[in-house]
Amino acid sequence: MSRKVYLDNAATTGTDPEVLETLLPYFNEYFGNPSSIYSFAGKNRKAVEYAREQVARVLNAEVSEIFFTSGGTEADNWALKGAAFKQGEKRGHIITTAIEHHAILHSAEFLEKTGYKVTYLPVNDKGMVSAAQVEQAMTPETFLVSVMFANNEIGTIQPVRKIASLCRSKGVLFHTDAVQAVGHVPIDVKEMGMDMLSLSAHKFRGPKGVGVLFIRKGVRIENLLHGGAQEKGRRATTENVPGIVGLGKAIELASQKMEKESARQSELRDMLIKGLGEKIPEAVLNGAEGTQRLPNNVNMSFIGVEGETLLLDLDAAGISASTGSACSSGSLDPSHVLMAIGLDHEHAHGSLRMTLGDTTTRDDIDYVIETLPGIISRRRQMSPLWEKHISGTKEV
Ligand code: PLP
C-alpha cells in the first residue's frame, strides 16, 4: 500500500471514532424532533442540552450563551450582521482585519454595500494586529470589532485578550472567529472578555456542518434565521441533533487532549519547519513563531515553484496539503493573507500550508522532510523564475 499522509487539518479533520459512535444513533434510533413533546423525543432534547453543557464547560461560558449554528460561516455571518442590523438606521462603523476568513470579510463587504463603514486593519509581517491599532481606528460610531483568534493560513495567534479588554473599556462589542483555535489553544470566554465567539466542529474532529456562536449574556444582536422557536427563538430550524451531539463530544475530547496534543504537535511542527528549512535553499516561514503560532500550522514559501504544482507532486507521493495561491477559486490572485503580510507574488505563489492533527505521527513528518526537498529541487530545475532568481542573486 502506498503511503498516505494527511496534512490538511486546517481544512478539515476526520471525525473521531468515539465522536462518530456517540452521534450515529441520533440518525435512526433516536430520530425524534427535540421540539416534540412525547417522551421518545425527550431523549433528543436532552442530548442537545447536554452538548450545550459540554461546549459551555470547555469555553467557561453559561449554557444559555451557547447557540448552535450550521458551522463557522454562519456563526461569523450572524455575529457581524446580527450586531449590524441591531444598529438600525444609524448604521455605524466596524473594525476588522485584512486577514480574516472570507466568512468575515465578505460579510463586512456586504454590510459596506448597505451603508456601514468598515476598517480593515493591516497586519505586520507576521500577520499580527495590535490593540493600539484597534484603538486608533475607533470612532464614536464604532459598535463592533471582529478580530480572528488564529489565522487559518499562517496560524498567527492574535492578542485577542488585549483587544477584548480595550473594547470592553470603550463599550464596543468584540467578536472573535476562533474556528482554528478551539481545541488547539486554551480559551476562556469569561476571563478573556469575549462578547461573541465562533467555532466549527469539523476543525476539531467533530462532524461537518455544525458550529456555535457564543453570545455573552446581555449582548443584543438580531437573528438571521426567522421561523420556529428553536434555540430560544434565536435561530429557527429543526436542530441538527447528530451534528450537535458530535460537536459536544468532540469539543470535550479535544479539550481533554489539548495540553498533551498541542505540545506534541508544536514539537512536530518545529521539526518540520527546521527540517525543510535546512534541506531546501531559500525556504521562508510565513507567520509567527513559537507560542504565537498555532501548534499545528506550517506555512512556507519556496520561490521558483508554483504552489499548485507542488500540491500535485505531493499528492502523487501520498501527501495531502494545501496552498495559499487561490487559483482553485478561479482567481490568479494570491491569498489575501500572504499579500497582507507583505509577500511578493513569487513567494505567495510558491506557498504551501501543512497542518497537523492528532493522527499525525513523527514518521509522517520524516516522510515529508525526505520527500518535499526532492520535489522542489526538480521543479526548480525546470523553472525560469528560479533561474532568473538565482542569476539575480549571483549578480548582486
Ligand atoms: N473561519 C475560519 C478561520 C476558518 O478557517 C473557517 C473554515 O475554514 C471558517 C471560518 C468557516 O467554517 P465552516 O467551514 O464551518 O463554515
Q: Looking at the structure, do residues 230 and 266 belong to the same domain, yes or no?
A: no
Per residue, what are the HEC states of the chain? CCCCEECECCCCCCCCHHHHHHHCHHHHCCCCCCCCCCHHHHHHHHHHHHHHHHHHHHHCCCHHHEEEECCHHHHHHHHHHHHHHHCHHHCCEEEEECCCCHHHHHHHHHHHHCCCEEEEECCCCCCCCCHHHHHHHCCCCEEEEECCCECCCCCEECCHHHHHHHHHHHCCEEEEECCCCCCCCCCCHHHHCCCEEEEEHHHCCCCCCCEEEEECCCCCCCCCCCCCCHHHHCCCCCCCHHHHHHHHHHHHHHHHHHHHHHHHHHHHHHHHHHHHHHHCCCEEECCCCHHHECCCEEEEEECCCCHHHHHHHHHHCCEECECCCCHHHCCCCCCHHHHHCCCCHHHHHCEEEEECCCCCCHHHHHHHHHHHHHHHHHHHHCCHHHHHHHHHHHHC
CA of 239 to the centre of ligand 1 (A): 20
Domain that holds residue 327: 5-12+258-395
Q: What is the mean pLDDT of the chain?
A: 95
Between CA 84 and CA 196 the distance in angstroms is 13
Q: Looking at the structure, do residues 330 and 272 belong to the same domain, yes or no?
A: yes
Residue 194 has pLDDT above 60, yes or no: yes
Q: Looking at the structure, do residues 296 and 345 belong to the same domain, yes or no?
A: yes
- Ligand 1: atom nearest CA of 152 is 5
pLDDT at 227: 97
Q: Looking at the structure, do residues 230 and 307 belong to the same domain, yes or no?
A: no
List the one residue out of 254, 227, 230, 185 whose CA is nearest residue 68: 230
Q: Looking at the structure, do residues 174 and 119 belong to the same domain, yes or no?
A: yes
- pTM given for the model: 0.96
Which of 200, 240, 297 has most ligand 1 atoms within 8 Å of CB, for mutation? 200
Catalytic residue among 20, 98, 224, 327: 327
Residue 155 has pLDDT above 70, yes or no: yes
Q: Looking at the structure, do residues 226 and 274 belong to the same domain, yes or no?
A: no
Cell of 45: 432534547
Asked if residue 101 has its Cβ within 6 Å of ligand 1, the reply is yes
Show which of 254, 274, 289 is a domain's final residue: 254
Q: Looking at the structure, do residues 27 and 85 belong to the same domain, yes or no?
A: yes
Q: Looking at the structure, do residues 94 and 123 belong to the same domain, yes or no?
A: yes
pLDDT at 330: 52
For cell 463592533, the residue is: 144
Q: Looking at the structure, do residues 93 and 111 belong to the same domain, yes or no?
A: yes
Q: Looking at the structure, do residues 387 and 324 belong to the same domain, yes or no?
A: yes
Between CA 60 and CA 191 the distance in angstroms is 8
Rounded to an integer, the average pLDDT of 273-297 is: 97
Rounded to an integer, the average pLDDT of 251-255 is: 98
Show which of 254, 269, 299 is a domain's final residue: 254
Q: Looking at the structure, do residues 169 and 315 belong to the same domain, yes or no?
A: no
CA of 133 to the centre of ligand 1 (A): 25
Residue 393 has pLDDT above 70, yes or no: no
Asked if residue 103 has its Cβ within 6 Å of ligand 1, the reply is yes
Cell of 26: 441520533
Residue 204 has pLDDT above 80, yes or no: yes
Q: What is the CATH number of the domain that holds 232?
A: 3.40.640.10
Percent over 70 (pLDDT), the chain = 97
Domain count of the chain? 2
pLDDT in tens, 322-367: 997 544 445 567 899 999 999 999 999 999 999 999 999 999 999 9
Rounded to an integer, the average pLDDT of 252-258 is: 98
pLDDT at 333: 76
Residue 396 has pLDDT above 50, yes or no: no
Show which of 185, 219, 254 is a domain's final residue: 254
Least confident range of 37-41, 73-77, 140-144, 172-176? 37-41
pLDDT at 158: 98
Cβ-based neighbours of 106, under 8 Å, separated by 6 or more: none
Between CA 156 and CA 338 the distance in angstroms is 12
pLDDT at 392: 77
- Ligand 1: atom nearest CA of 11 is 8
Residue 167 annotated among the catalytic residues of the structure: no
Residue 253 has pLDDT above 80, yes or no: yes
Q: Looking at the structure, do residues 221 and 275 belong to the same domain, yes or no?
A: no
Residue 316 has pLDDT above 50, yes or no: yes
Between CA 320 and CA 300 the distance in angstroms is 15
Q: How confident is the model at residue 146 (pLDDT cuts 50, 70, 90)?
A: very high
Percent over 90 (pLDDT), the chain = 92
Rounded to an integer, the average pLDDT of 215-221 is: 98
Rounded to an integer, the average pLDDT of 141-156 is: 98
Asked if residue 97 has its Cβ within 6 Å of ligand 1, the reply is no
Residue 118 has pLDDT above 50, yes or no: yes
Q: What is the CATH number of the domain that holds 345?
A: 3.90.1150.10
pLDDT in tens, 170-184: 999 999 999 999 999
Cβ-based neighbours of 66, under 8 Å, separated by 6 or more: 52, 55, 56, 59, 212, 214
User: Which amino acid makes up residue 114?
Assistant: T
